[in-house]
């Protein structure tokens, strides 16, 4: 899941300062789950902006709407009539959603209302942790489903560095060392022999930008 965090209110106000009629557009998938840009967050942000603009003496009109996914044409095509009524779109979708809107409606400025952070998962209520860097060369079968590229700050592929202590990371002692976690899980499975397989240096050409996948469908 893509994790994002809503931008500060004052930063958003600066970005929309030159527009009077604005569509605040939410996304009902990833950013809704992490409480950054779903229907509820659209309503809260719209209310906050209306109040802030009224107190500053500014006259702005805000429309509110949420689509299921901002990154797919079939969902954003349905807002074409709404886009015609405004001067700008304030997107609470991830960076992909912002770019999809900008491509579909090239004559309408699209303003990002959130900062796209990482791909992650919920580890407890209200807490999301990064779990994948999209490196394009997955080795999770060899590391017990724990990604050293993402969870080790140094991205080490063949075991821990010499700086870990008591199972904790040298870079951030509050975090478990990824390679200690990998070792313990492989040991539990009886698969420690996998640690003997030398991983070659990461082929970063596989995550060169921009990337594209064609399925042949």
CATH number, domain with residue 22? 3.40.50.2300
Kindly report the pTM of this predicted structure.
0.85
Q: What is the CA radius of gyration of the chain?
A: 22
Please check whether residues 113 and 18 belong to one and the same domain: yes
**In this predicted structure, which of 10-14, 186-190, 198-202 has the lowest mean pLDDT?**
198-202
Quickly state the pLDDT bin for 217 (edges 50, 70, 90).
low
Give pLDDT, residue 213: 64
Residue 114 inside a domain? The answer is: yes
Residues 2 and 188: their CA atoms lie apart, in Å, by: 31
Tell me: cis bond preceding 210? Omega within 30 of 0 counts: yes
- For 166, residues 6+ apart whose C-beta sits below 8 A from its C-beta are none
Largest CA distance in the chain: 69
In-domain check, residue 108: yes
* Chain position carrying tokens 């965090």: 5
| Same domain as 172, residue 142 | yes
pLDDT at position 84 is: 97
- How many separate domains does the chain show? 2
User: Is 205 a member of any domain?
Assistant: no
Same domain, 114 and 144: no
d(Cα 119, Cα 177) in Å, to the nearest integer?
A: 20
52 and 151 in a common domain: no
Q: Decide which of 94, 118, 142 is a domain's last residue.
A: 118
**Residue 110 sits in the same domain as residue 142:** no
Q: Which residue, of 118, 150, 182, is where some domain finishes?
A: 118
Domain that holds residue 29: 2-118
| Token pair listed for 50 | 């209306």
Which pLDDT score is estimated for 120? Answer: 92
Span of 16-30, 141-155, 171-185, 191-205 with lowest mean pLDDT? 191-205
Same structural domain for residues 15 and 80? yes
Residue 204 lies in a domain: no
Last residue of a domain, one of 118, 146, 173: 118
Average pLDDT for residues 78-92, to the nearest whole number?
Answer: 97
Identify whether 217 is part of a domain: no
In a domain? residue 124 = no
- Residues 149, 102, single domain; the answer is no
In Å, how far are 33, 150, 164, 172, 197 from 153, measured between CA atoms? 26, 7, 12, 8, 21
Examine the domain organization and report whether 94 and 153 are in the same domain: no
- Mean pLDDT across the stretch 183-187? 95
Does residue 77 lie within any of the structural domains?
yes
Residue 38 within a domain: yes
- 106-157: pLDDT as tens digits: 999 999 999 999 999 988 888 999 999 888 888 998 999 999 999 999 999 9
The confidence band for 202, taking pLDDT boundaries of 50, 70 and 90, is confident
């Amino acid at each position: 899941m893509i994790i994002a965090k809503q931008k500060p209110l004052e930063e958003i106000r600066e970005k929309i300062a030159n527009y009077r009629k604005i569509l605040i557009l939410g996304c009902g998938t990833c950013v809704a789950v992490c409480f950054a840009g779903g229907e509820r967050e659209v309503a809260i942000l719209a209310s906050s902006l209306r109040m802030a603009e009224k107190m500053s003496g500014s006259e702005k009109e805000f429309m509110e709407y949420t689509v299921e996914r901002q990154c797919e044409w079939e969902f954003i095509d349905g807002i074409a009539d709404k886009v015609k009524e405004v001067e700008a779109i304030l997107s609470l979708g991830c960076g992909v959603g912002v770019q999809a809107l900008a491509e579909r409606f090239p004559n309408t400025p699209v303003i990002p209302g959130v900062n796209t952070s990482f791909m992650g998962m919920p580890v407890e209520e209200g807490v999301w942790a990064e779990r994948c860097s999209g490196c394009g060369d997955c080795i999770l079968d060899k590391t017990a489903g724990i990604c050293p590229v993402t969870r080790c700050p140094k991205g080490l592929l063949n075991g821990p560095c010499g700086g870990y202590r008591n199972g904790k990371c040298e870079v951030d002692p509050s975090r478990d060392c990824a390679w200690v976690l990998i070792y313990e899980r492989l040991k539990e499975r009886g698969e420690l022999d996998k640690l003997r397989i030398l991983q070659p240096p990461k082929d970063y050409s596989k995550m060169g930008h921009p990337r594209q996948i064609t399925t042949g469908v």
